[in-house]
Structures are given as structure tokens and as C-alpha cells.
Amino acid sequence: MANYTATNNTQNSTIRSFRAVVFAALIALLFNLTSCNPKADAISPETETIVASSLRAVASSDSSNTLKGVASFPIGAAINPQLLASNALYKSALVKNYNSISTENCAKMNRLQPKAGQFNWTDTDALVNFARQNNMKVHGHTLIWHVAVPTWVTNFQGDSLAWEKLMKTHIQTVVGHYKGSIKSWDVVNEAFEADGSLRKSIWYQHLGADYIARCFQYAHEADPQALLFYNDNNSVYQTKKSDAVYAMLKNLKQRNIPINGVGLQMHITVNTSESILTNVIRQYASTGLLIHISELDIRMNYSLSTTFVLTDAVKNAHASKYKAIAKIYKGVVAKAQQFGITNWNLGDSDSWLLTESKSEDHPLLFDENYNRKLSFYGFMQGLTE
Ligand code: G3I
């Protein structure tokens, strides 16, 4: 039995090495073709199709060649329960490739408690049940944020005690309802401004700067086993902001506030500097907290150009950036701190970026029909190497 396993392992690792070499060769070929050609934008579509189809052939030769199959940590996607129920291609891409679901919108306060004291669990329950049936975990997003606040909260009149009760009740009702089934939460989202100051959100205004620490305490009381995260955006570029978040994380840890991890959203572009990303991830990892790349998507059309053209060169840059993120994460974050990487949406047509800017973009790993894109293979290669 031991020999059999050892032989099997050797064979598997040989197959894996072979596959990695083939991936590397094909991606290198693609990059060389593009970078050596002064008219890279004019590369013929055939060249790209041939290379991409070779990659697909390699990948489909083994059913374990899926994102979750090659990753050594959880791979998540932000999911929309309506799309999941209505689109078989969406569902299939999710189930094949991912082992974690983040609740994109359905667990936000405006959706879970649209009226005071009236909780609507339907959509989030559906995701939790789906995850259970498909052996996936669920990451809850998000308990306290300055966006997606229901109108009754915006209009709420009360002293600080009444606000404290409102916030505590929301956190504890939600975390309590999903105790044992949602095992991790973004407790507070985006509490900082770009200049490093605390955002003067409705929560800050009524409850003061330390509302953040109390949110973690309330969530922990409701489910002591749940892993609790602080989640923020753009801190990957903004030194003042990333320093402020880092200082807060250290402060919370020193005070024994029950925080387990930090989410770096990672809404980036093909032009985002990899050395800056590396430094910021390293800085956060030095806290010893779990590190979640929690909302990964990569804009191709970073200048929001109205004349954007989807060239092979842009596709290559996109695939390469996805690969780089996976490699940086694996290289910089200690294994014990690797909570996972989550894509923010699945197919290009679901992306929040399209609704937000209205400019053309293709930020994700799957196209509008949930076919794997070149970037899927770039990301997979980064996860594999
Ligand atoms: O579902 C309603 C629909 O019934 C209505 O007709 C339509 C009219 O505007 O709105 C729809 O709701 C929209 C919802 O997305 C679903 O598409 C909301 O207006 C819109 O505000 C909401 O945007 C979400 C945004 O957060 C604000 O909550 C995005 O989908 C979601 O991807 C985005 O996610 C955030 C993370 O939570 C935090 N980090 C940044 C990230 C991107 O902004």
C-alpha cells in the first residue's frame, strides 16, 4: 500500500511537472509572440486561438485541472443567488472551480434587514444550502458598512445607546442565525478613507472610532467559532490608507479584540504595480492574521477609454496579472495564513465594474458564456507553480 501510494505520488508529481512545463511553454510562447512583435495589437486571432485551445486541451485532459483542484487554499467567488438559480452555465463554472462562496450582496444590511426588526433570510439561506450540498464554505459579506445601509437606519433617530443597540442587534441576529453554517465574516468593511483617516460614516458619527472593535466583540459573542475579518479596498495602492489599516489591525490584536483576518479586496488593473502589491501583502501578513484576497478582479480598460480595443496584448497582460497575484500570494503569505483568494463575480457580464463605469471591460476569468478565458489559465498556472 505504501509503495503503491509512493508510486502514485511520483506519477502524479511527474504529471503535474509535465503539465506545468507545458503551461509555461505555451504561455511563454504567447508572451514572446506578443512582446517581440512591434505590432502586438495586430496579432492574428488564429495565433491566440491555437494557443488557448492547446491550453484547454491540456487542462481538460484531467478533471482535477480546475482552480480548486490545483490550489492549495480555498478559491472563492462572489455569488448572486438569482443567477445561480437561473443560469446552468454559471452554476457549472462555480461548482467545477470553486470551493468557497462569498455573499456578494444578499447578506448586506439593506438585504438582510430591510425594515427594522424584519429579517429576510431567503437569498442567503439559498446560498448556504447550495454550499452545503456542494461541499463549499460560505464567507459572509458584510455586517457593518457605510454602503447598503437600509433607509430605516439612515433615518434612525436615537442617542448613542440606541445606535449601539441597533448595531449590536443586527450583528448578533445575523451571525447567530448562521452560527455554524457561515464560518467566516467580513465584520467591518471599508472603515478608512484614502488619506488614512477613519471614514465619517453613519456608524462613526453615532458611535465613535471604537465602534470597529465592538463590532468584532459582538460578532464573537454570537459565534465564538466564526473567523472574523476586517475588509478594505484600494489599500493596495494607498500608502496612508494601508498604513492606517495596518496600525488598526495591530491595535486590535494588542487589545485582544477577536479579529482573525484581514481582507484585501484587490480591485486592480492590468497596470497595478506588482512590487507595491507584494509590499502591502507582506506588511499585512506581518500581523500574523489570516490573509484573504477577498474581491479579486482586474480591469483591462484601466483608463475607462471609450475606444478600448480588446487586443491579444491586453489579454496577455490580464492573464499575466492574474498569474502574478496567485504567485505573490503563495510566495508572501505563510501557508497557515492563507485563507484564500476570492474572485468578485464569475463571468465578465456579471461584473459590478460594468454597471459602475459603463465602459467596456473583461475583468474576470470567464467570458459572458462562462467559458474559461486565457486569464483563467494564467491564474491556474500561478496557482500551480
Ligand atoms: O437588485 C436591484 C434591482 O432590483 C434594481 O432594479 C437595481 C436598480 O439600481 O438595483 C439592484 O441592486 C443593485 C445591486 O448591486 C444588484 O445589482 C444595487 O443598486 C447596487 O448598488 C449593487 O451594487 C453592489 C455594490 O457592492 C453596492 O452594494 C455590487 O453589486 C457589488 O458587487 C458591490 O460589491 C462591493 C463590495 O460589497 C465591497 N467592496 C467593493 C465592491 C464593489 O463595489
Tens-digit pLDDT profile for residues 91-139: 999 999 999 999 999 999 999 999 999 999 999 999 999 999 999 999 9
Task: Choose, from 164, 193, 295, 385, the residue flagged as catalytic.
Answer: 295
Ligand 1 in contact with 149 (CB < 6 A)? no
Confidence of residue 237 (pLDDT cuts 50, 70, 90): confident
CB 287 within 8 A of CB 230: no
- DSSP label of 335: G
pLDDT of residue 180: 96
Q: Is the peptide bond before 122 cis (omega within 30 degrees of 0)?
A: no
Whether 104 is in the pocket of ligand 1, judged by its Cβ within 6 Å, is: yes
Question: Cβ(347)–Cβ(291) under 8 Å?
Answer: no
Question: Which of 237, 240, 324 minimizes the C-alpha distance to 276?
Answer: 237
Protein residue with least CA distance to atom 21, ligand 1? 148
**pLDDT at residue 52 above 90?**
no
Contact by Cβ (8 Å): 186, 142: yes
Atom of ligand 1 nearest to the CA of 141: 37
How far apart CA 269 and CA 290 sit, in angstroms, is 24
Pocket test of ligand 1: the residue of 110, 143, 352 to mutate, having most ligand atoms within 8 Å of its CB, is 352
Q: Please write down the long-range contacts of 362-371, taking CB distance under 8 Å and 24 or more positions apart.
A: 362/300, 362/310, 362/318, 363/297, 363/298, 363/299, 363/300, 364/297, 365/67, 365/322, 366/93, 369/89, 370/87, 370/89, 370/90, 370/92, 370/93, 370/346
Distance from the alpha carbon of residue 355 to the mean position of ligand 1, in angstroms: 9
Length of the chain: 385
Mutation test of ligand 1: which of 105, 108, 296 has the most ligand atoms closer than 8 Å to its C-beta? 105
- Which residue stretches of the chain are H helix? 2-35, 45-60, 67-70, 81-86, 88-97, 109-112, 122-133, 151-154, 160-177, 202-207, 211-222, 239-254, 274-285, 312-332, 352-357, 374-384
pLDDT at 97: 97
Q: Which pLDDT score is estimated for 64?
A: 56
Average pLDDT taken over every residue of the chain: 87
Confidence class of residue 65 from pLDDT cuts 50, 70 and 90?
A: confident
Give 102 Cα–ligand 1 centroid separation in angstroms: 14
> Per-residue pLDDT tens for 244-282?
999 999 999 999 999 999 999 999 999 999 999 999 999
Q: Give me ligand 1 centre to Cα 174, in Å.
A: 20
147 touches ligand 1 (CB under 6 Å): yes
Asked if pLDDT for residue 75 goes beyond 80, the answer is yes
385 is catalytic: no
All structural domains of the chain = 62-384 (3.20.20.80)
Query: Does pLDDT of 76 surpass 80?
Result: yes
pLDDT at 36 over 60: no
Q: Please give the single-letter amino acid code of residue 100.
A: S
Confidence check: pLDDT of 1 > 50: no
- pLDDT tens per residue across span 168-226: 999 999 999 999 999 999 999 999 999 999 999 999 999 999 999 999 999 999 999 99
CB 348 less than 6 A from any atom of ligand 1: no
Nearest CA to ligand 1 atom 29: 352
Averaged pLDDT, 33-50: 30
Higher pLDDT, 51 or 346: 346
Looking at residue 381, its pLDDT comes to 92
Q: How many CB atoms lie within 10 A of CB 210?
A: 11
Q: What's the pLDDT at 356?
A: 86
What gap in Å lies between CA 79 and CA 293, rounded to an integer?
Answer: 16
79 vs 228: CA distance, rounded Å: 20
Angle between helices 45-60 and 374-384 in degrees, nearest 10: 50
Confidence of residue 13 (pLDDT cuts 50, 70, 90): very low
Mean pLDDT throughout 286-303?
Answer: 97
| Cβ atoms of residues 93 and 348 within 8 Å | no
Q: What is the pLDDT averaged over residues 14-27? A: 46
Q: How far apart are CA 367 and CA 345, in angstroms?
A: 11
CA distance between the termini of the chain: 29
- Cβ atoms < 10 Å from Cβ of 304: 14
**Cβ neighbours of 180 (radius 10 Å):** 8
Confidence band of 55 (pLDDT split at 50, 70, 90): low
| Atom number, ligand 1, closest to the C-alpha of residue 265 | 39
The grid coordinates of residue 317 equal 497582460
Q: Whose CA is nearest to atom 11 of ligand 1?
A: 105
Evaluate: CB of 269 within 6 angstroms of ligand 1: no
Measured CA to CA in angstroms, residue 133 lies from 35, 138, 219 at distances of: 46, 12, 26
